[in-house]
Amino acid sequence: MKKLLFALAVVLLMATMGSTNDKIISSASDPWPPFVDPNHPKMGISIEVVSAAFKTQGYEFKHKIIPWARAEDGVKKGIIDILPNTWKTEKREGYLMYSTPYAFNEVKFIKRKGDTFEYNGLDSLAGKKVGIMLGYGYSDDFMNATTFKRETTSEFISNIKKLDSKRIDLTLEDEIVARNKITKKTPELLNKIEFTKNFLSSNGLYVTSGLKNPRHKELIDAFNKGLEEIKSNGTLEKIFKSYGLQ
- What structural domains and CATH numbers belong to the chain? 23-101+206-242 (3.40.190.10), 104-203 (3.40.190.10)
**What pLDDT is recorded for position 35?**
94
Contact between 65 and 28 under an 8 Å Cβ cutoff? The reply is: yes
**What pLDDT is recorded for position 16?**
36
**What pLDDT is recorded for position 246?**
63
C-alpha closest to that of 71 among 90, 54, 52, 46: 46
DSSP-derived 3-state class of residue 113: coil
Which residues does the chain have with pLDDT short of 70?
1-21, 246
Instruction: Identify residue 39 by its one-letter amino acid code.
Output: N
What residues have CB less than 8 Å from 55, skipping those under 6 apart?
61, 226
pLDDT in tens, 41-52: 999 999 999 999
pLDDT in tens, 214-227: 999 999 999 999 99
* CA distance between the termini of the chain: 64
The DSSP string of 81-122 is -BEEEE---TTGGGTEEE----EEEEEEEEEETT------SG
How, if at all, do strands 170-174 and 193-210 pair?
Answer: unpaired
* Residue 66: how many other CB atoms lie within 10 Å: 14
**What pLDDT is recorded for position 39?**
92
**What pLDDT is recorded for position 86?**
96
* Residue 207: how many other CB atoms lie within 10 Å: 31
**What pLDDT is recorded for position 180?**
86
Cα-based angle 113, 35, 114 (whole degrees, multiple of 5): 5
State pTM to two decimals.
0.71
**What pLDDT is recorded for position 13?**
35
Instruction: Identify residue 61 by its one-letter amino acid code.
Output: F
